[in-house]
Amino acid sequence: MSQTILITGATSGFGEAMARRFAAEGWKLIITGRRTQRLNALAAELSPAQVHTATFDIRDSKAISDFVAALPEDFKNIDVLVNNAGLALGLEPAQRCDLDLWETMIDTNIKGLVAMSRAVLPGMVERSKGLVVNLGSIAGNWPYPGGNVYGGTKAFVKQFSLNLRADLHGTGVRVTNIEPGMAETEFSVVRFEGDKDKAAQVYSGMKPLTGEDIADIVHYVATAPAHVNVNRIEVMPTAQSFGGFPVHREQS
Ligand code: NDP
Ligand code: 8X3
């Protein structure tokens, strides 16, 4: 019998690539996002794969619980939940940031992910089977200028993932945090409020990760034997590494 994967944020980037990958491997898909047309187009493209689509804003916790309660019988037993929907907004230093943008990141990357996990976990625990894959980021491990609240949300996602493991001890339910570096999706277009040229500059002259790279990793984690729990995977493009610590020197 084919397994069921729920992927949030499947209208572009990682989520869309995961949907294609898991459909090709014969999984049943539940795909979500705010852009209905894109979800429908993806479902049509993936036919004859069994795909259930749902349009809602991940920041709306009532919409999440209603969505999970109303899942069709065929899709109720979720084997894998990928908490992928998320975003970065801006790259300004903290003292100049727009508080609304900070709150949007917190509501989406933290509160949305937490609410979806809370809605799906009871079924997994009842069935003694399941996997939650969270999309963290290198930004949750390493500070960088302008990363402020985005990095803070991803540090939350990492620690929440590890704490879920502690709570789920003995239930058979697995949890993995995926922590990618630079990947070319719509991520930077969103971060720079639709400025495609500015977004393209981020990846200019280097080979970034792709949605397919992340889909490969998630597929590996999801198909590892039931006794194997991958706690965390941090992955970067080869062209990206680490810098030193900047020192501010006083003029003499
Ligand atoms: P994209 O912008 O391409 O995709 C983001 C997805 O999230 C879209 O499908 C979008 O759907 C969905 N989403 C955003 N806000 C909401 C919302 N309020 N309600 C419902 N869905 C929402 O970016 P990526 O694929 O790159 O990002 C996926 C995840 O990976 C994010 O959590 C991101 O932080 C993380 N990540 C990305 C990296 C990168 O460099 N690209 C690196 C490390 C982590 P819609 O707009 O239709 O609602
Ligand atoms: C996205 C990667 O380095 O832009 O999470 O924060 S980075």
Residues 56-108: pLDDT tens digits? 999 999 999 999 999 999 999 999 999 999 999 999 999 999 999 999 999 99
Rounded distance between C-alpha atoms, residue 43 and residue 32, angstroms: 11
Tokens of 77: 């037993």
Per DSSP, 183 falls in state B
Rounded distance between C-alpha atoms, residue 78 and residue 131, angstroms: 9
Tokens of 10: 């499947």
Query: Which pLDDT score, from 0 to 100, does residue 1 have?
Result: 82
Beta-carbon count within 10 A of 92 CB? 13
- DSSP-based three-state secondary structure for 235: strand
Residue numbers in the chain where pLDDT is lower than 70: none
- Does residue 182 line the site of ligand 2, with CB under 6 A? yes
CA 190 to ligand 1: nearest atom = 2
Query: Which pLDDT score, from 0 to 100, does residue 108 have?
Result: 99
Query: 32 alpha carbon to ligand 2 midpoint, in Å?
Result: 22
The answer to whether 153 and 106 have CB atoms below 8 angstroms apart is yes
Chain segment 5-19, per-residue pLDDT in tens: 999 999 999 999 999
- Does residue 101 line the site of ligand 2, with CB under 6 A? no
Q: Which residues lie below 8 Å from residue 48, measured CB to CB, with a gap of 6+?
A: none
Domains, the chain, in order of start with CATH, read 4-181+210-235 (3.40.50.720)
CA 88 to ligand 1: nearest atom = 34
The question of whether 150 is a catalytic residue gets the answer yes
C-alpha distances in angstroms, 166 versus 170, 171, 174, 227?
Answer: 9, 10, 10, 16
CA contacts within 13 A on the Cβ side of 37: 0
User: What is the number of residues in the chain?
Assistant: 252
Q: Whose CA is nearest to atom 5 of ligand 2?
A: 137
CA 202 to ligand 2: nearest atom = 4
Query: 132 alpha carbon to ligand 2 midpoint, in Å?
Result: 21
Rounded distance between C-alpha atoms, residue 189 and residue 105, angstroms: 15
CA contacts within 13 A on the Cβ side of 186: 14
Query: Which pLDDT score, from 0 to 100, does residue 252 have?
Result: 76
Which ligand is located closest to the Cα atom of residue 14?
1
Query: Which pLDDT score, from 0 to 100, does residue 106 have?
Result: 99
- Does residue 137 line the site of ligand 2, with CB under 6 A? yes
